[in-house]
Each structure stands twice: as structure tokens, then as C-alpha cells.
Structure 1
Amino acid sequence: MKEIKSIVNAYHSHSERAALATVVRVEGSSYRRTGARMLVFETGVWVGGISGGCLEGDALKRAKMAILKDSPSLVTYDTTTDDDHQIGVGLGCNGIIDVLFVPIDKTDSHNPIKLLEDTLHFPEQNHILITITKAPENAKNLLGKIFRYNKAPDLKPLSGYSDLETLAKSIENLEKSKNLFFENGLNVYVELVPKPIKVYIFGNQYDLYPLADLVLSLGWDLFIVSEKSKIKEQLKSHVLEDFKPEMLDKNSAILLMSHSLNTDKANLKSTLPLNLPYIGMLGPRVRAEKIWHELEQEGAEVNTQNIFAPVGLDIGATTPDEIALSIVSEIKMVFANRSGEHLRNRPLPIHDREQPMIFK
């Protein structure tokens, strides 16, 4: 989401023509995955990225060509071959990356940047963007078309290629972005743009500031539950004085760090019934157990499965900045459904391998 924000901001701050480069398919290994983007202006200024830096040079040329020709194109980078003429050869990534280059028409209210901007205006919901990455000879004008999906009628651009009701059900059941291949030569990238993680910090002590900075640097949404007068000026806009538990959802992580046992206990009690995926409690385990025990004596049902106390991963953190790093890493681990172990001990690839869906 942070990259989308940067691209949208750059789009509005530059007047020259531009093209959007998007990774729409990855086979094997790559530094970035599908959905990675870079916005390139005709002056050569660019924002975002599609790789670790190895493909950006060629991507700049391809984007400028898309602007010049005012025509989209799909480029395949193959780092698995020994062809010296192939961009990216010798990198050792051993992957195939399809990148779609689409010139941006600023007069089009539904251009790709505008669609991305819409996802920022409605952060409380997930979004589905559909991009046509390959079109048959008799429908070349479809290449590069991007539209947002909400319900079956939105798939009208794909009519004639598949039964739209069946296709709609398949899209709605997807749990992550996926490529759809149609036997008649049409390829579609269905991108799920998730809601950003929302972090609620209950507290107003000095140790919230490095944590808040790190949360914001990741592009997550930050809410500080406190009296505004107790928070420094740079974070006052994130203060939530009228907090209500019903504001929380399955995309929320809460951190109880008021340094007051009774305050943390009250806040935990109000949020326990919501069964949130992540509740972090600052302080030693014995403190957390005392709170749990008191709540149980008062009749509350305490399920500690989703309570992380002491909060954070075991990285030897001692300073507020290091503790913030351990907390944010743990939040990411939970929401990504990962173990937090060393990647070198992971028997599977770092990223899940995508299997495209084939439609008749």
C-alpha cells in the first residue's frame, strides 16, 4: 500500500506524461512479486520498483517507449537462460517475470493511477483490480486495459471469453492475486489489493514514538488511543480520542502499552470479545498473567492464543527502537501467517509459487 501511495502522490505532483510498469506474472524466483509497480515519467524520473534494481534500467526504456508510442506492451524478463542478450541474465534469480507497461492518459478518469487512488480512498475494504495482460489478434485493443471488480457485470470487457457468472465466482473465491489464462488467447491478472494493517497503540509514553515511526514507514494505518494533549505534535493527527471497540476488525493489531496495569487490563477486557488476530502486551509475562487471572476471576473468558505477551520477537531488543522493530516484525509475521524463523531454515521457497487458472 505504501508503494501505491508514493505512485499516486508522484502522479499528482508531475505534469509530464508517464507510463506505469507492473509485474503481472512471476514464474520461479524474483526479488519482487506480482503487483510490484514503478511509475516512469518521460523525463526519466521514476517512483517505485519492479525488482531489486537489476531490471529498472531496461524498464525505464520500455516505459518511455510506451509513452512515445502511446501503446501498452508486455515484456518478459527471463533470468533462467544463458542468453547474453536477455536482460537480467547472470543474476541467479532463476525466474521469469512478465512486466506490463501502460501509458497513462490523464484525461481518462479510469486510468490505472486513478484506479489505484480509489483503493486509498476506501481503505476499509479489499479491492480487486483486473488487468488484461494478453489479448488475441482480433482484440489487441484490450491489452493493458485495467478495471475494478465488484460484481459480475463489471466483467463485461471479458464477455465472449468466458461465462461471466462462473468467472465472477472464481474471482470472488480467490484468496490471493492470480493469473487467469483463457484458451482463446486472453490472459488476465486478477490482483487482490488488501486493506492495510491497522495498528492501534493504547498509550502515550515516550516508547510509542519509534514504534509509530516504524508503523508509518511501512505504510500501515496508525491510530493512537490517548488524550491528544499527551501526544507530541507530529503524531496528533493519528490520535483517536473517541475510540470504540467496534472500530476494530480482523485487519487490526492492538498494542497495550500504557504502563498502567489497570489501564491495560480495562483495554484488554473491552477488546477480548472481538477475537482479534493480534493483541500485544508490553511488559513481562508475569504482569500479563496477573491481568489475565484478574479478568478470569471477574468472569471474562481469556483466550491467550492471539495475545502476545511479552510482545515482540526474540531478537535481543533492549532499546525502544529495537523493541519497536521486534514488535512490528511480530505483527507482520502473524498477518502473513509465517513462523518468524530464519529463512535459511525454510524448506519451501520464500514466496508462494503461483499456479495460473485455465478457463475454457
Structure 2
Amino acid sequence: MKEIKSILAAYDRLDHATQRAALATVVRVEGSSYRRTGARMLVMDDGTWVGGISGGCLEGDALKRARLAIARSKSSLVTYDTTEDDAHQIGVGLGCNGIIDVLLTPVLPDDPHSPIAVLQDVVADRRQTNVLLTITKLEGSLNGFETGNIIRYANPESLGGLDNDSLADHLEQRIRKVVEQSKSAALSFTLEDGRELEIFAEFLPPELHVIVMGHQYDVFPLVKVIKEAGWRATIVANPHKIHREVAALVGAVVPPEEFNPKLIDNYTAVVLMSHDYKTDKNNLPLVLAAPYIGLLGPRVRAEKIFNELGKEGITISPEVEERIFAPVGLDIGAITPEEIALSMVAEIRAVFSKRDGGMLRERTSTIHER
């Protein structure tokens, strides 16, 4: 989401009377690639760009092709095959060893299906899980939709604009699978008239939201790392105890008496770090619905909190305890507040990615699922 926000900010700065732009999007990856599907880059006709589609090996060529797409006002799909032993192939020798499809779409301010407009809607509705359907291959048009257009799927009615009930039914079935697996997919269909239609169905969850319950000095490095990761942070503490530099890095500072557990959704992590036993104990029952709960301090401290809450009639079930990480953070030998913040953010990322946070060299399968 951070990359999308940067792209939208750059687009807003354009003088549309004199400048034009194209959006490059990775829509398919086979094998190894530094960036995965959904990576984006906004290319301006003056040769500048924001975002990225690789580790640097494809950007130069994509820049040239994007400027050509701008000149032609027509989307195009480019395939980079770095698996071939061809010295003239872009990316060979840089270790990519994969096949990457990049869609280049001119961005026109008056286009009703502009990808920028769709991304603006996605960012505005920050807590919504989205499925974006990008047409990557289509000869001609389909009821006004062309290659490069995006449909933001919310429900079956979102497909009504296609004016094709049979296609909509098939799409709906495939979208359900994308949502169930929380995984983007490349979809292919054959239309009644024989034309091939290819769609990149992108599963785009909301940005991770970290609720930090505490006001001590170690909150500052934590929210800085969260901000750099492109996540959203909320601090629950007395606003008068939060330095203005810290407040500037977060989405909100909420007084403890105004905290509402409804802030928690499936993409919310909570970190209890008040450095006060009683405060953490009182806060824990309020956040038990969170998919990740980090509790600062040693394990014996957490067990004491669990036991005392149990005696007070608040039972921490095994299922809930599985979501409580105490001590919080990965075991990286962190000592300073900055290192501890790094270990906490890394653990949060691992949990939401369903990974164990181990060393990649010990991973027996590929880094990314294929």
C-alpha cells in the first residue's frame, strides 16, 4: 500500500496540461523475481518514475516502453524472460531467473476506467479488502472495457458493467477462490466470439494497522519503523504524554478512556508496552479479538497476567493464547529500543504472512509461493 500511496502522490503533483504518465504493473510472475505481482511503477513522459517493478534490472527498459505506450495512448503487455541463456535479454545475469509480465497503461485523466482512479478509491477506503481485476489481454473492447482497464470488485454487481452474464458467472467463481486463498491469480477466458480475455485478479488487503498501547520513549522507534514499512499506527495513550514528533508519525493518538475495540479487524496487530503491569493487564481483555497481540516483558509476567485475569473470571483460551506473543518480537538478540522495534515489526510481518520468522537459508521451499 505504501507504493500505491507514493504513486498517487506523484500523480497528484503532475501538471496534466503539460505532462503525461503511464502505470507499469507486474501482472504475472513465473519462477524467481525480486518483485511479485502487484508491484507498480508510475512513469512520466519526462523519464522520471516512482515505484518499482524489479530490483533495478527491468526499470530502464520498462521506462522506454512506457513512454512509447504514452505516445500511442495504448496499453501493452511486455514479457521479460530471464530464464533464457541470451546475453541480449533484459535482466539476464542479474539473478532474476524468472518470467515477468508487465502491463503498461497510459493514464488519462478523463478515462472512466483509469487505474489511478481505482487506486484512489482503494486508498480512500483504507480498511476494505479489495480484489482488483485488471484486463491484461483483450483484442478490441468488451462493452467499453479495454486492455489496461481495472474493475474494483466488491460484489457480483461489480461485474454488471461487462454486460456478459456467462463471463460474470465464471469470473465470480474464480474470484471466490482468490479471496479464499488470499492470493492473486492470472485468469484466462475465451469469449463467445472466440476472443481471448486475460485478467489479473489481484488480492489487495488493507495496510497493516498496529495499535500501540503505551507512551514511553520506546514507542518512538517503533512507530518510526512502522511508518517506514508503510503500515498504519495508532497510539493509545494520554495525548499530553506523546511528543509531537511521535504524533506526526501515526494516524491517531487515542486517549485510553476513548479506545474502542472496534478499531481491531483482521489486519490489526496490538502491542501492549505501557511498562506498567496494571495497565497492560487492564488493556489485554480489550484486545483479545486481535489476530496478533504483542506483550512487552518476560514470559513469567504474561503468565502472571493470565492467571490473575482467570481468577477474575476472564479466561484466556488456548486459541487466544496462541495469538499472544510474550515476550514480543523475534529472537535476534535485540538490545536497544531501535533493535527491539525491528524485532517486533519483523514478528508482526511474519505472523500475518503465516511464516515462522526463521532464516531464509534454512527454508526448504521457494521464498515466495508460486
Between 1:277-286 and 1:142-151, the stretch displaced more is 142-151
Question: What does residue range 56-75 of structure 1 map to in structure 2 within 5 Å?
Answer: 56-75=59-78
Task: Tell me if structure 1 keeps the 8 A contact 2:145–2:162.
Answer: no
Q: CA deviation at 1:185?
A: 1.5
The match for 1:181 among 188, 199, 204 is 188
| 2:89 aligned with 1:90 | no
Is 1:341 matched with 2:339? no
Q: 2:291 aligns with which of 277, 290, 296?
A: 277
1:356 corresponding residue in structure 2: none
Paired with 2:273 and 2:36, the residues of 1 have a C-alpha distance of 35
Aligned residue identity for 2:122: T
> Which one of 46, 50, 55 corresponds to residue 47 of structure 1?
50
Residue 290 of structure 1 pairs with residue 294 of structure 2: no
User: In structure 2, how many angstroms separate the alpha carbons of the residues matched to 1:137 and 1:259?
Assistant: 63
Matched AA of 1:207: D
CA contact (8 A) 1:285 1:310 kept: yes
Secondary structure of 1:318's counterpart equals: coil
1:164 is the counterpart of 2:168? yes
- Name the count of aligned residue pairs: 351
3-state DSSP of counterpart to 2:339: helix
User: Contact (CA 8 Å) 2:113, 2:149: kept in 1 or not?
Assistant: no
CA drift at 1:167: 2.0
CA offset digits 1:236-276 (Å, max 9, x no partner): 3520122111221221110000011000000002222x2x2
Q: Is contact 1:130-1:146 (8 Å) kept?
A: yes
* SS in structure 2 of the partner of residue 186 of structure 1: strand
What are the residue-to-residue correspondences of 1:81-160 with 2, within 5 Å? 81-136=84-139, 142-156=146-160, 158-160=162-164
1:255-270 equivalences under 5 Å are 255-270=271-286
Shift of 1:82: 1.6
Identity %: 53
Query: Equivalent residue of 2:111, what SS?
Result: coil
Question: How many Å apart are 1:137 and its aligned residue?
Answer: 6.3
Which moved further from structure 2: 37-46 or 181-190? 181-190
Q: CA deviation at 1:126?
A: 0.8
**Counterpart for residue 36 of structure 1:** 39
Q: Distance in 2 between matches of 1:156 and 1:54?
A: 40
Counterpart amino acid of residue 310 in structure 1: P
Residue 111 to residue 136, structure 1, CA distance change in 2 (3 Å) = closer
8 Å contact 1:75–1:99 — kept in the other structure?
yes
Counterpart Cα distance in 1 of 2:49 and 2:12: 13
Match of 2:9 in 1: 9
Distance 1:299 1:248 in 2: 23
Asked if residue 254 in structure 1 is aligned to residue 258 in structure 2, the reply is: no
Shift in Å at residue 170 of structure 1? 2.4
Residues 194 and 141 (structure 1), Cα distance of their counterparts in 2 relative to 1, 3 Å cut: closer
Residues 351 and 43 (structure 1), Cα distance of their counterparts in 2 relative to 1, 3 Å cut: same
Indicate if the aligned counterparts of 2:75 and 2:104 stay in contact, CA closer than 8 A.
yes
After superposition, what is the alpha-carbon deviation per residue over 1:18-43, rounded to whole angstroms, capped at 9, x for unaligned? 00000000011100000000001111
State the one-letter code of the partner of 2:82. T
The normalised TM-score by structure 2 is 0.91
Cα distance in 2 for partners of 1:32, 1:88 equals 13
Structure 1 residue ranges (4+ consecutive) displaced by more than 6 angstroms after TM superposition:
137-141
Residue 150 of structure 1 aligns with an amino acid whose one-letter code is: A
Distance 1:243 1:138, change over 3 A: closer
Per chain length, whose mean CA-contact separation is higher, i.e. which structure has more relative contact order (CA < 8 Å, sep 6+)?
1
User: 2 CA distance for matches of 1:124 and 1:160?
Assistant: 30
Which residue identity does 1:30 align to in structure 2? S
Q: Match of 1:228?
A: 239
Query: Which of 325, 328, 333 in structure 2 is aligned with 1:311?
Result: 328
Question: Which string of whole-angstrom CA distances, capped at 9 and with x for unpartnered residues, describes residues 107-160 of structure 1?
Answer: 235411111111110011111111111114686972112121122232245555
Q: How far apart in 2 are the matches of 1:217 and 1:249? A: 22
SS at match of 1:119: helix
* TM-score, length-scaled by structure 1: 0.93
Structure 2 residue 247 is matched with structure 1 residue 204: no
CA distance in 1, matches of 2:112, 2:167: 28
Alpha-carbon separation, structure 2, partners of 1:67 and 1:345: 45
**Structure 1 partner of 2:29:** 26
Task: Verify: 1:79 aligned to 2:82, yes or no.
Answer: yes
1:194 to 202, 205, 211: 205
2:88 counterpart SS class:
coil
TM-superposed deviation, 1:172: 2.9
Are 2:337 and 1:320 equivalent residues in the alignment? yes
Alpha-carbon RMSD across the aligned residues, in angstroms, is 1.7
Name structure 1 gaps, 5 residues minimum. Answer: 354-360
Q: For structure 1, which segment, 276-285 or 97-106, has the greater mean C-alpha deviation from structure 2 after superposition? A: 276-285
